[in-house]
């Protein structure tokens, strides 16, 4: 399983990448493998506020409908329109298919996210 070392992770299987002032969020390879073929994605609107731990969107697959949770609190600055039109991109490239980019209102929340090693242990425990 691919777990990039340069990303942070949540216990709910979201990945997080910081680029300058924005925090990009997507779902991990583990999550998309568990879900199966992704057929629909619902995301917030640009300008919406998200709260750490609260659902910000939905991923629907052939197996289930799953909420996606905000890893940090902040304001949505961008959404990835391409995955709304082509949700299967999440299956083909989960780490290249970000869902939203937020401007965090509390960067101290970054420090409690999982690193790659801790996330890998979590996945092993869940298997």
6-44 residue pLDDT tens: 999 999 999 999 999 999 999 999 999 999 999 999 999
Looking at every residue in the chain, the average pLDDT score rounds to 94
CB count, 10 Å around CB of 74? 23
Token pair, residue 125, equals 């425990």
Token pair, residue 2, equals 């691919």
Residue 1 binned pLDDT confidence (cut-offs 50, 70, 90) = confident
Domains of the chain and any CATH numbers: 9-103 (2.40.50.100)
Is the predicted pLDDT of residue 81 greater than 90, yes or no?
A: yes
Residue 107 binned pLDDT confidence (cut-offs 50, 70, 90) = confident
């Amino acid at each position: 399983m691919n777990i990039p070392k340069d990303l942070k992770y949540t216990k709910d299987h979201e990945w997080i990448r910081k680029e300058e002032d924005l925090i990009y969020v997507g779902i991990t390879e583990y999550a998309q493998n568990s879900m199966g073929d992704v057929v629909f994605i619902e995301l917030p609107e640009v300008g919406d506020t998200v709260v750490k731990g609260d659902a910000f969107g939905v991923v629907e697959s052939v197996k289930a409908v799953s909420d996606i949770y905000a890893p940090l609190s902040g304001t949505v600055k961008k959404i990835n329109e391409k995955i709304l039109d082509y949700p299967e991109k999440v299956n083909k490239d989960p780490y290249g298919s970000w869902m939203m980019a937020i401007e965090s209102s509390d960067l101290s929340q970054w420090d409690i996210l999982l690193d790659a090693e801790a996330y890998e242990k979590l996945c092993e425990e869940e298997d």
